[in-house]
Structure 1
Amino acid sequence: MNTSKFFLVLACTLVLSKPYFVQGRGYTVYVINDLGPNEKLNVHCKSKDDDLGPHTLGFGEEFYWVFDLNVFGTTLFRCNMDWGNKQGSFEIFNARKEQYKCGNTFDGHCYRKVRKDGVYYNKHRDGDYWKKYSW
């Protein structure tokens, strides 16, 4: 096999098998209703490849999903949310911006608390959340 064919086969193999830095990089994203007692949160999250369906969360309840980054490391999830008379569409996970902000190298956890004034982020369940979006 000549050199150019070898490199073509090698390149195709790497792309189809996912590179090491992408494969096995699992994430779990949690969306938590922190609106207050008796407040229901409607959440519908999607990526280019996955529609996670609609979910209604009571106060303190969470919706979560587990996924690996796509081959290109560009995984993006958006969630449409509403409660009361508020509604919004929020970028809940963007691999290009957040893949190293959600825990350690091999099992990232991303926490999103939805509050009356916006959506808050943290990489730990407990602790100080910071506001990412306003309604």
Structure 2
Amino acid sequence: MKNLSKFLFVFGLLCMISSDVQGDRSFITVKNELNPKDKAGPRLIMAYCKSKNNMIGPRYLKFEEIMIFGFKTNVWGTTEFWCVVKEGPHYNKRYGSFTAYKAKGLFVKDDGTKWNWSAKDDGFYFHKGNMPSLKLANWTMN
């Protein structure tokens, strides 16, 4: 019984700390930056993102439109979102997927940071804050 009391005390303490540590929300953005000057007409993308417990989308984005959503990282630092983007109009010929966010350890603090992703003609680019954009994923063809 004594060990159970200690466990419940520590668990309660961790829960209280987690609410302070998680403070603000973080955000993921996905932007359509495909070249709009295509002979076939406007180039739309369909984007959705998932975590273990959430599904965001699908959202259909025109050139320069942005999908944005906020989230909180769990206390255990296991929050992960992955996104799938498909190019229209048929949405089954060209697609890409990438890990949009992955927490790194216990008690990760959400601080309003935006994890920005862009769908471009040659792949998917990531940037955060003032860092330059990096190509981190490619399109896949069916």
TM-score range normalised by the length of the shorter chain: 0.7 to 0.9
Name the structure 1 match of 2:18: 19
Amino acid at match of 1:95: A
Deviation at 1:90?
1.5
Amino acid at match of 1:123: K
Deviation at 1:25?
4.7
Amino acid at match of 2:64: G
CA shift digits 1:84-105 (9 cap, x unpaired): 53112221111129xx8xxx96
- DSSP 3-state at the match of 2:114: strand
The whole-number CA distance in structure 2 between the counterparts of 1:79 and 1:106 is: 21
Q: CA RMSD in A?
A: 2.6
Larger radius of gyration: 2
Relative to its length, the structure with more strand (as a share) is 1
The whole-number CA distance in structure 2 between the counterparts of 1:46 and 1:18 is: 26
Name the structure 1 match of 2:39: none
Q: Structure 2 vs 1, CA of residues 39 and 47 (structure 1 numbering), >3 Å: closer, same or farther?
A: same
Deviation at 1:20?
6.0
Is contact 2:100-2:115 (8 Å) kept?
no
Q: Verify: 1:110 aligned to 2:115, yes or no.
A: yes
Identity %: 29
Name the structure 1 match of 2:60: 56
Deviation at 1:51?
0.9
More deviation, 42-51/23-32? 23-32
Give aligned pairs, total.
Answer: 128
Amino acid at match of 2:83: C
The whole-number CA distance in structure 1 between the counterparts of 2:13 and 2:114 is: 27
User: What TM-score comes out, normalization by structure 1 length?
Assistant: 0.80
The whole-number CA distance in structure 2 between the counterparts of 1:94 and 1:5 is: 33
More deviation, 81-90/113-122? 81-90
Q: Where does the alignment leave 5 or more consecutive residues of structure 1 unmatched?
A: none
Amino acid at match of 2:23: G
